[in-house]
Amino acid sequence: MSFSFREPPSRLKWSDSNSLDELDGEFASSVLDVALDLLTLLVEDNGGLWRQLPACSDVFHPLAKLLDHLVSEQPLHSSLQAKAKSLVDKVRSVERRRMPIAKEKAKPKILKMYEPEFDSK
């Protein structure tokens, strides 16, 4: 099943989620619009929910590649294309803050264990 994202997105209604009607381009555009809005909330420059987390770049950089592919391969409505490009820019601006695991420089010092002496009386 292939959808065209050229249609302008509209506001989703609850009835859209449980309808038995055939899915069309307007519905696909609307769902993509909502998904882009939610992802943008996670990586916004100021106040993004996940932007401050160390793994944010690891989670969202694969998404940037997928969005680049979507924008280049699929004809999108102009508003969807602008949102997708903006999201890709925000994801790419997230800096990688997680440090790789480093090997310890020296072995830990072993504590001497003393055996207590007991009187056998």
Number of folded domains that form the chain: 1
Check residue 118 and give its pLDDT: 74
Question: Counting every residue, how long is the chain?
Answer: 121
Q: Is residue 55 part of a domain?
A: yes
48/50 Cα distance (integer angstroms)? 6
Check residue 2 and give its pLDDT: 64
Q: Is residue 22 part of a domain?
A: yes
Check residue 1 and give its pLDDT: 52
Q: Which domain holds residue 50?
A: 14-93
Integer angstrom CA distances of residue 36 from 42, 48, 86, 94, 98 = 10, 14, 10, 17, 25
Coil/strand/helix, residue 80: helix
Check residue 37 and give its pLDDT: 92
Contacting residues for 67 by C-beta, under 8 A, at least 6 apart:
84, 87, 88, 91
Q: Is residue 35 part of a domain?
A: yes
| Mean pLDDT of successive 10-residue stretches along the chain, which has 121 residues | 74 76 81 91 83 85 89 87 91 79 80 76 64
Render 38-59 in DSSP notation, one character per residue. Answer: HHHHHH-TTT-TTTTSTTHHHH
